[in-house]
């Protein structure tokens, strides 16, 4: 049995009762709250989440005090190797052998979709911080998971719309051939066409890919104004490097990185990335709150955090606060409690969890600085505008999620 809209409503009532009764009536399922962190720890997405995300999770546990409602918080982790089968089997083992209360992290969208199906079958709970496919809270929604940080919908509506408005009318899509890439390609195509542009061609590449030569040549041959990169991590870095080697931008074409992370820009350098428009869910130098947390993270890790790593901390703290407030670690009650609590912290502005499981919050259109504009190694973005939370994400009126439409 999975908890649906009716059981979620009941869970909210239980959570309210637990709150009224105080900690004396706290009902913890066993002798610990157990959080399993699942992510790509060694491959394409290692730097944007990976060990750095695990460190952010550990920071949250430490800042919370290491225990909740009188029981310790235990953290363990696994490398999903960007494999849906590995991810699903790992979570099954965690459920059967470790009594996992929360699965955190997750980057490859194919892994997240597979894992959430396992959790739905077993009444578990997940908070997804690294995946991008908007389908995770659309056609693949379940009442057993929450999607934090970002998804392909605001990425497309932020970056693609801005590029078309600046005159980038014709597009060629270079897409990672799995759920995330397909979702981003679809969202971008819709935005481009709605704003008067045209997608004149595209090619899908295996995930991951090291040699982008043939794909860049096809993009050049298309004659499109814009080459949209519907990929992420080292795939994006390799594609941009190959485009530079082939002189793509010297012939009048422009790259649009549709999912760019801070570590990507840092790795490639401002000389290669200056002027690039991107949409992000968070930036370390946005304000005093974000800087304070980022500097603590930097002291531990030696590099500034990505939006995913910051989101892992934020979502973990929200989960632990909900467990404490509800007086229980029962997944359906905690999920309902999380939905009742606003998400306002160093990471999220105007945040809340909708019934489809999407945590909506302000997003940001940013531009990569030139070497002359930058004042330090990690001074990489200029925030150009804020995309308000209620405008950033897919409206519920367009949702295919059963939790919304039932």
Cα(110)–Cα(354) distance, integer angstroms: 22
- pLDDT tens by residue, 200-212: 999 999 999 999 9
Cα(273)–Cα(239) distance, integer angstroms: 12
Q: Please tell me the least confidently modeled range out of 111-120, 153-162, 345-354.
A: 153-162
- pLDDT tens by residue, 214-235: 999 999 999 999 999 999 888 9
Residue 1 has pLDDT above 50, yes or no: no
Q: Given this model, what pLDDT does residue 8 score?
A: 47
Q: Given this model, what pLDDT does residue 26 score?
A: 54
Q: Given this model, what pLDDT does residue 166 score?
A: 87
Q: How many angstroms separate the Cα of 147 from the Cα of each of 163, 245, 302, 336, 353?
A: 27, 37, 27, 14, 9
Neighbouring CB atoms inside 10 A of 356's CB total 24
Could you say which DSSP state residue 170 is in? E
* Residue 16 neighbours by CB under 8 Å, 6+ apart: none
**In degrees rounded to 5, what are phi and psi of residue 314?**
-60, -45
- Our measurement of the distance from residue 116's CA atom to the centroid of its chain's CA atoms, rounded to an integer in Å, reads 15
Cα(137)–Cα(113) distance, integer angstroms: 10
Determine what percent of the chain is predicted with pLDDT higher than 70: 93
Q: What is the mean pLDDT of the chain?
A: 92
As assigned by CATH, the class of the 153-280 domain is alpha beta
- Whether the CB-CB separation of 219 and 177 falls below 8 Å is answered with no
Residue 335 has pLDDT above 90, yes or no: yes
State both tokens at 248. 């793509």
Residue 25 has pLDDT above 70, yes or no: no
Residue 122 has pLDDT above 90, yes or no: yes
- pLDDT tens by residue, 26-74: 588 889 999 999 999 999 899 999 999 999 999 999 999 999 999 999 9
Which band of pLDDT confidence, cut at 50, 70 and 90, is reported for residue 405? low
Neighbouring CB atoms inside 10 A of 289's CB total 12
Q: Given this model, what pLDDT does residue 293 score?
A: 98
Which band of pLDDT confidence, cut at 50, 70 and 90, is reported for residue 18? very low
- pLDDT tens by residue, 283-317: 999 999 999 999 999 999 999 999 999 999 999 99
Sign of the CA dihedral running 129, 130, 136, 137: positive
Helix extents (H) in 269-345: 270-273, 288-301, 307-326, 331-340
Domain with CATH 3.40.50.2300 in the chain: 5-150+286-362, 153-280
Residue 7 has pLDDT above 50, yes or no: no
Exposure of 160 in the CB half-sphere (CA atoms within 13 A)? 33
Residue 371 has pLDDT above 70, yes or no: yes
Hey, what's the torsion of the CAs at 280, 348, 7, 67, to 10 degrees? Answer: 120
- pLDDT tens by residue, 86-114: 999 999 999 999 999 999 999 999 999 99
Q: Given this model, what pLDDT does residue 325 score?
A: 97
Cα(244)–Cα(367) distance, integer angstroms: 19
Tell me if the bond preceding 208 is cis, omega within 30° of 0. Answer: yes
Q: How many angstroms separate the Cα of 248 from the Cα of each of 185, 227, 242, 400?
A: 21, 9, 9, 39
As assigned by CATH, the class of the 5-150+286-362 domain is alpha beta
- Whether the CB-CB separation of 116 and 142 falls below 8 Å is answered with yes
Cα(122)–Cα(173) distance, integer angstroms: 38
Among 218, 385, 179, 364, residue whose Cα is nearest residue 282: 364
pTM equals 0.88
Which band of pLDDT confidence, cut at 50, 70 and 90, is reported for residue 274? confident
Sign of the CA dihedral running 232, 233, 237, 239: negative
């Amino acid at each position: 049995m999975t908890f649906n809209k009716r059981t979620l409503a009941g869970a909210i009532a239980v959570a309210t009762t637990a709150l009224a009764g105080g900690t004396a009536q706290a009902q913890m399922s066993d002798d610990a709250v157990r959080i399993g962190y699942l992510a790509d720890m060694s491959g394409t997405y290692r730097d944007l989440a990976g060990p750095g995300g695990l460190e952010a999770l550990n920071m949250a546990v430490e800042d919370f005090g290491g225990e909740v409602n009188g029981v310790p918080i235990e953290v363990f982790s696994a490398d999903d190797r960007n494999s849906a089968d590995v991810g699903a089997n790992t979570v099954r083992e965690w459920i059967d052998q470790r009594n996992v209360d929360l699965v955190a992290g997750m980057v490859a969208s194919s892994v997240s979709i597979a894992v959430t199906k396992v959790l739905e079958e077993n009444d578990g709970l997940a908070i997804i911080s690294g995946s991008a496919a908007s389908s995770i809270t659309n056609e693949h929604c379940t009442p057993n998971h929450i999607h934090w940080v970002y998804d392909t919908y605001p990425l497309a509506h932020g970056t693609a719309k801005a590029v078309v408005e600046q005159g980038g009318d014709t597009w060629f899509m270079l897409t990672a051939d799995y759920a995330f890439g397909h979702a981003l390609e679809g969202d971008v195509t819709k935005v481009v066409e709605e704003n008067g542009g045209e997608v004149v061609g595209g090619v899908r590449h295996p995930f991951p890919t090291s040699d982008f030569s043939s794909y860049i040549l096809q993009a050049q041959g298309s004659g499109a104004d814009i080459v949209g990169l519907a990929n992420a991590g080292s795939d994006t870095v390799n594609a941009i490097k190959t485009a530079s080697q082939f002189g793509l931008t010297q012939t009048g074409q422009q790259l649009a990185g549709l999912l760019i992370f801070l570590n990507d820009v840092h790795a490639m350098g401002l000389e290669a990335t200056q002027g690039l428009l991107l949409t992000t869910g968070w930036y370390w130098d946005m304000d005093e709150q974000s800087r304070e947390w980022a500097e603590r993270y930097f002291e531990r890790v030696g590099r500034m955090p990505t939006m995913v790593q910051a989101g892992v901390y934020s979502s973990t703290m929200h989960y632990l606060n909900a467990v404490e407030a509800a007086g229980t670690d029962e997944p359906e009650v905690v999920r309902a409690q999380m939905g009742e609590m606003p998400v306002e912290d160093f990471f999220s502005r105007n945040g809340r969890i909708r019934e489809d499981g999407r945590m909506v919050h302000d997003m940001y259109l940013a531009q990569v600085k030139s070497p002359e504009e930058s004042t330090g190694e990690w001074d990489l973005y200029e925030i150009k505008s804020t995309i308000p939370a209620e405008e950033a994400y897919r409206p519920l009126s367009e949702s295919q999620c059963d939790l919304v439409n039932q």
